[in-house]
Amino acid sequence: MVNLPVDSLGSEPFYPYLDYLNSQLAYIKATPLSVDKKITINGKVISETFISRDELNKLAQPFLEINPEIKDLKPFYMENSFADLSIQKLTFSITATRSDLPLLQADILVNPNNEIVKNVVLKKQFSQGDSSVIQYLLWENKMYFQISETIQKMNSGSYTRVTKVTWDRTLQ
């Protein structure tokens, strides 16, 4: 494992994972693919259906809504990167320096040979009504995205909801 230096003053841009995600959305829009949405709660499938591109774009918004690169947020994030040649991946990890920020971490795995992003993983936290939510968001290159949420109600138990949107199948 090799550690790559990171600019300590924060003037260097972070890995542009939002540009990558927007390019994935453009790819989906331009390619004749069917789009499937599956929702599970506590491991039980409760819904599976084909969805429109508009609904896919709406469901993808949690990946795009927080930009750690903007002026007001950048001082509260740091980026580390390392190469793991045993699995042929470069990892760029953007981490919050404060635990009260909604985006806690963004990990971007890149193939070092062709510089293609394999996946993006985000960890987010926020409050919603009487609940606290921890989200793990996974985007697999040209295949699917998944949002796993653990929702803790204030005066009751918690549950896990997973929404998976897949577009890697060509329309017949």
Q: What is the pLDDT of residues 108-129, one digit of tens each?
A: 999 988 999 999 999 999 988 8
Provide the strand spans (E) within 28-130. 33-41, 44-50, 77-84, 89-96, 103-110, 117-128
Confirm whether 126 is domain-assigned: yes
Please check the confidence at residue 40 and state whether its pLDDT lies above 60.
yes
Q: Could you tell me if 91 and 84 are in contact, meaning their C-beta atoms sit under 8 angstroms apart?
A: yes
Q: What's the confidence (pLDDT) of residue 5?
A: 40
Residue 105 lies in a domain: yes
Q: Domain containing 98: what range?
A: 15-170
Q: If you average pLDDT over residues 22-39, what whole number do you get?
A: 93
Dihedrals phi, psi of 136, to nearest 5 degrees: -115, 120
Q: Has residue 3 been placed in a domain?
A: no
